[in-house]
Amino acid sequence: MQLTRFTDLGLRVIIYLAADQLTDDGTRPRRRHTSSSVAKAIDASATHVAKVVSRLAEIGVIRSTRGRTGGVRLAEGGLDFRIGTLIRQLEGDSRLLDSFRTPDHDDAAAPATADGAGAPTTTPARTTDAEPPVHTVVTGPDGTPADAGGESPAAWREHCDKLSTALVEAQSAFFAALDTIRVRDIAGVRPPGTSASTPSPVRGPGPTVPLDAGH
């Protein structure tokens, strides 16, 4: 699954703040950060990072304050956000399967013409301005293909639905794996009261987190 540039920047900002957030005894921030200083540290556009910081503050994983003594830092509990949850929040309610939508999934069917109710219509295949049409797609009044490589439209849609189901399952597995990892795991920040010699607990998938949840 390909993540957006926005999500990539968001994760980099969080990991940078997490790794540089606390002193060795975990009591206070090492230094004050601003959107500009974070952008410079991770070699990214200050404008883009400012937008990412605003979104991360909305999610609740960081705190951003204005003024001479303001800045950005991880929010309380920010180290325990799950990576899968953060990616869902940053990506939004996007769909992996847009390129596999079938006519049955369209919001509205094409209206029937007054002179051809029930009769198939012929639509030129989509081409660029530099290319003449090389074939046509025969459709009915509802916009569904009248022929799909010798198969009925129903069989063609069934194949697409099977592929869509497989992609949904793959996407679910992708997020399930990321939901076992927290920010502290990536940044190497151990829970309070543990040391480098303390074995890390075995992580589980944890509860399912909806898109509008915090962590």
Q: How much is the pLDDT for 167? A: 86
Q: How much is the pLDDT for 156? A: 80
Query: Are the C-beta atoms of residues 136 and 123 closer than 8 Å to each other?
Result: yes
- pLDDT, one tens digit for every residue, the chain (215 residues): 678 999 999 999 999 998 876 555 555 556 788 999 999 999 999 999 999 999 999 999 999 888 777 889 899 899 999 999 999 999 886 555 454 554 554 444 444 444 444 444 444 444 444 454 444 444 555 555 555 455 677 888 888 888 888 988 888 899 999 999 999 898 877 666 555 444 444 444 444 444 444 44
CB atoms inside a 10 Å sphere around CB 84: 21
Q: How much is the pLDDT for 153? A: 79
Q: How much is the pLDDT for 118? A: 46
Q: Which residues pair with 71 in a beta bridge?
A: 65
- Helices (DSSP H) in 20-131: which residue ranges? 35-41, 46-59, 83-91
- Helices (DSSP H) in 60-211: which residue ranges? 83-91, 153-178, 183-187
Alpha-carbon span 76 to 106, nearest angstrom: 43
Domain ranges of the chain: 1-101+154-190
Alpha-carbon span 55 to 43, nearest angstrom: 19
The CATH number of 1-101+154-190 is 1.10.10.10
Q: How much is the pLDDT for 114? A: 44
